[in-house]
Amino acid sequence: MKQRVMNNVHALEDKPYEYIIAMGISTGGPKLLSQLIQTLDEEIPATYIIVQHMPIGFTKNLAERLNTLTKLTVKEAETGETLKRGVIYIAPGGYQLKVINGLKPQIELTDELPYKRHKPSVNVMLLSLAHLQKYTRKIIAVIMTGMGSDGLEGVTELKKISSCKVIAQDQASSTVFGMPKAIISAGLADFIVSGDSISQKIKEIVGNRHGC
């Protein structure tokens, strides 16, 4: 049975994908991610990138734990990796994660300084997506619970150059309503939903063929 599951995972990764689903989260993140990961639809033609504010050494354990909760593959991102369908990449603590090469998107990890106190930074990741050249896939940005406004600049830039869909977590289900509030207050949220409705909203967007 285990071998069959592994074969299915590898077969999924070999298929093309239509969406990059980019998520930013901070305070209260591990608990919400544990719930969210379990409800993501493996049939969605997408690859996933998550920036969770965590120090170096903690994100690997987070990825390993989340990987036990889903049929998708969850892993700590490595520089040079080509994005694959059905894989959820967790940005390593202590590094900045960027997506490069629009024709065949890849992970690039850098040792740059913290961006407005964050390393990894949601803004750095989203800005790299906004500036991809010759990129033809669609993007869904998801901003969830967390202090501050990390993600605001990145989402703003994405909206300038594309019609990417943006999901913001609502106040009632957020541990701290800073990051999603910044998106909502700026008028950038296409959808405002509770934490336990995020995966369903992603499915609706993909099913309705919305996105960038």
Q: In Å, how far from its chain's centre is CA 176?
A: 18
111 is catalytic: no
Cα–Cα distance for residue pair 91/164, rounded to 1 Å: 21
Among the listed residues 121, 150, 173, 174, the single catalytic one is 150
Cα gap 93→76, rounded to integer Å: 9
Q: Is 26 an active-site residue?
A: yes
- State residue 68 phi and psi, 5-degree precision: -80, -5
Give yes or no for a contact between 151 and 182, defined as CB atoms under 8 angstroms apart. Answer: yes
128 flagged as catalytic: no
Distances (CA, A) of 10 to 69, 86, 87, 157: 17, 9, 10, 34
Rounded distance between C-alpha atoms, residue 189 and residue 185, angstroms: 9
Residue numbers annotated as active site: 26, 53, 150
